[in-house]
Amino acid sequence: MIKRFLILFIMMLSITMTAGAISLQELQSSPNFKLVSYKEYPSETSSYVERFYSFIDLNSIRIVEYNPPKYTLQCTNYMVFDYTAGPEIKESEMTIYYDLNYSLATLIHANREKQPNASLVDVIETAERESGLVIKSKPLNTYQLNGDIWYPENRSNHLDREWKGSIDRSRGYQVIYDNADALFKAVYLQHFDDILIQ
Amino acid sequence: MKRMYLLLLWLLPFIMLPIYSQAISQSELRGSSRYVQFKSVADYKVYYVDMESITPITATEGHRRITVTVYALVDGEDYIAAVKMEYDYQLDRSLRQLLSKHDVLKSQGQDSPYISVWRDKQANIGITCRILGVKGYTLSGNSIAELYKIDNVYKDISELSFKGNRYKMLNAIYKQAYGIYFDDEMSSKLL
């Protein structure tokens, strides 16, 4: 009796331990994971192609604030670094604060309304200074590509810390911008920068 | 001997004047409205555009071309680089033109988000440039012949991007030449 109970206990424990783990295969095959970004980096010295993926979990999306023109959404984000230097999956809780006063549609429309003295140079300046997007990223877990958990002592980088900052429209922020935009579109069915506030 | 001396005295202004007129010091760049400064907050480099040197030149159809002298200074460097630049502006890459194309596509029912216009512009701003000539000066305005000393001062002047005050400078140069910012250019013929 005790033996059976022990086997059952070990089985339950193993299920609990692996329930939260995620592999690259699951991210690619399950429809609730939306692939937002994908990049390939061919190696100059070998045939190995390094790959980067960013997914958002559509089942994890939560509307934190709905106060137009300000919105806050949250979801789980998976960034996959299939790199020779250390392949890993970074799971994080991503919270995005949206201010539609700074969407491109709003800025361009406001500029057109200002005719005849309006210049798109003003739109460029404002859109560069203020995107209307702020991210708070809270790291959750790090996995190996097969879903095994990485332990903190294995490796750590800047993604292992909670951080908050504005997202700009520059190329350097494109992955984060695309995550934020995909999250917005999943909920409100339109791109963030296409929403017009009059 | 006296005649020789007088001849030299007479020739002196003709020798000195061209050298003097080309020389420029840091204080002159800072002190005259002729030179417009462009510096981004995090930038260690300052550019001064000589607004009086801006000259439109002939260009191929759909393009406009300008020559201009840009002075570059770098924090911690003792030299000024005076770089004669030629900028080429491709009119169908102005932001107004790209937005107009976007509006047409959208009215035809195509999914074309505004951010794709932004990314398109980032990928190709529609402005290219080349260096026509370089001169070097000390901060006090003396010409230098050893141009290798100013390599670091102007080495990235040809790197153009849709970003910051350097991009703003490209629009300002265009406006000085044609009375309109490049990104406001719109021609129905180009649609």
Give the C-alpha separation, B171 to B177, whole Å: 10
Instruction: Summarize pLDDT for B77-121 with one digit per residue, the tens.
Output: 889 999 999 999 999 999 999 999 999 998 998 888 999 999 999
Burial class (CB in 10 A: 0-12, 13-18, 19+), A6: exposed
Of the pLDDT bands very low, low, confident and very high (cuts 50, 70, 90), residue B145 is confident
Q: Tokens 């290798």 — which residue?
A: B148
Q: Which B residues, 128 through 157, put their C-beta within 8 Å of a C-beta on chain A?
A: none
**Contact residues on chain B for A109, CB-CB shorter than 8 A:** none
Give pLDDT, residue A92.
Answer: 95
- Alpha-carbon gap: A116 to the closest alpha carbon of chain B (Å): 11
Q: Which tokens hold the place of B2?
A: 């006296």
What is the residue-averaged pLDDT of chain A?
88
ipTM above 0.85, yes or no: no
Per-residue model confidence (pLDDT) at position B160: 92
Q: Kindly determine whether residue B164 and residue A128, on different chains, have CB atoms separated by under 8 Å.
A: yes
Average pLDDT of span B148-162: 88
Task: Please give, rounded to a whole number of angstroms, the shortest distance from the CA of A172 to a CA of chain B.
Answer: 11
The 10s digit of each residue's pLDDT in B14-38 is 544 444 445 788 888 888 889 998 8
Asked if residue B189 has pLDDT above 80, the reply is no
Task: Tell me: pLDDT of B58 over 50.
Answer: yes
Name residue A93's beta-bridge partners: A76, A138
User: How confident is the prediction for chain B on average, in pLDDT?
Assistant: 86
- B60-81: average pLDDT: 92
Which of B118, B122, B181 faces A121 most closely, judged by CB atoms?
A: B181
Q: Is A190 exposed, middle or buried (0-12, 13-18, 19+ CB in 10 A)?
A: middle
Please report, for chain A, the start and end positions of each structural domain, with discontinuous segments joined by +.
Answer: 22-194
**What CA–CA distance (Å, rounded) separates B84 from B68?**
6
Question: Does B163 contact A at CB distance below 8 Å?
Answer: yes
Taking the Cβ of residue B181 and every Cβ of chain A, the question of whether any pair is shorter than 8 Å is answered with yes
pLDDT band at residue B146 using 50, 70 and 90 as cut-offs: confident
Query: What are phi and psi for residue B122, nearest 5 degrees?
Result: -60, -40
Asked if A169 is an interface residue toward chain B (Cβ–Cβ < 8 A), one would say yes
When pLDDT is cut at 50, 70 and 90, the band that residue B191 belongs to is very low
* Segments in chain B forming alpha helices (H): 2-22, 26-31, 95-107, 114-123, 151-154, 164-178
